[in-house]
Amino acid sequence: MPNIPSVNLSDFISDDLSLKQDFVNKLGKAYQEIGFVALKGHFLKDSDIKNIYKYIKKFFDLPKNIKCKYELKGFAGQRGYTSFGKEHAKGKKHGDLKEFWHFGQYLDESEYLKFGYPKNLTVNELPEFNKIGKKVYKSLEKTSIYVLRAISLFLGLKEDHFDKFVEKGNSILRPIHYPPIKTKPSGAERAAAHGDINLITLLMGAHGKGLQVLTNEGKWIDAIAEKDEIIINVGDMLSRYTNNKLKSTIHKVINPPKHLWKKSRYSIPFFLHPVGTMKLDVLESCINNENPKKFDDITAHDFLIQRLKEIGVL
């Protein structure tokens, strides 16, 4: 799609320095102008994409009482199941028309205590659901680290600048089910207009209409990837860190035309989060007379908590 630039990660990891620099330039330009790219050459196998869609459908088809066994109090939705309509976009009063699951970071026992992350929940009824979730999580995490390395070079930082912040970060893989619409929604959308909280978001399977992006001119455009591409967008943490040099673009998932109301929609974004102690203080290199500092200093953890409260999760 012409409005969403396409880049190939194979160029960045090749031994050809000119291809690598061209990837950095294209990625940076796209993130400055629209905040979204379609990425080829990622580490996610086509067979894994097919399998995770197969098993998330099986999970969301489980009876409600089974799914709700995995919606635990005290988890604030960080792991396991979140039932229909509980989350809403910042500033919106209507709950989004979706239910979802959260896979989180995979760590050694001692590291869960160190970082304070909750452990992943195991769906006993679907062992393969747990296995494919972990595999996809790891593949997207690896892809995202390489994308951040390219972003680092575009910003004039050392290539591994983000590595220490994200390799054991509080990232989330979120399979989402947008159920069939039974009656005309009153003010609610499948996912209302919002910006993502995290550093970058990786989205597989955005091959059909539904996801829309707000351009600088105030126009909503469809964001559609090719079969071998995933869509990657800038989140609010990265936009804040770069003093809005890189653009966290408002996007939404619209309700389908009425003749498609009876059809479910599935989506699987991966939200790349850093460790909570990362300081999101604006980079000095992104501050100048034309672009003065726009944000107060804050840690990733405090920013996350602030935003989770705004969307009704906490």
| Tens-digit pLDDT profile for residues 39-83 | 999 999 999 999 999 999 999 999 999 999 999 877 667 899 998
Report how far residue 220's alpha carbon sits from residue 211's, in angstroms, rounded to the nearest whole number: 10
CA distances from 260 to 24, 61, 255 (A): 39, 19, 9
pLDDT at residue number 211:
84
Residue-range domains of the chain with CATH = 6-310 (2.60.120.330)
- What would the two tokens of residue 206 be? 């955005």
Name 81's bridge partners. 101
Query: What percentage of the chain has pLDDT greater than the value 90?
Result: 67
Tell me which long-range contacts 283-288 makes (C-beta under 8 A, separation of at least 24): 283/155, 283/157, 283/241, 283/242, 283/243, 285/155, 285/156, 285/157, 286/155, 286/241, 286/242, 286/243, 286/245, 287/243
Three-class secondary structure of residue 223 per DSSP: coil
Confidence of residue 207 (pLDDT cuts 50, 70, 90): very low
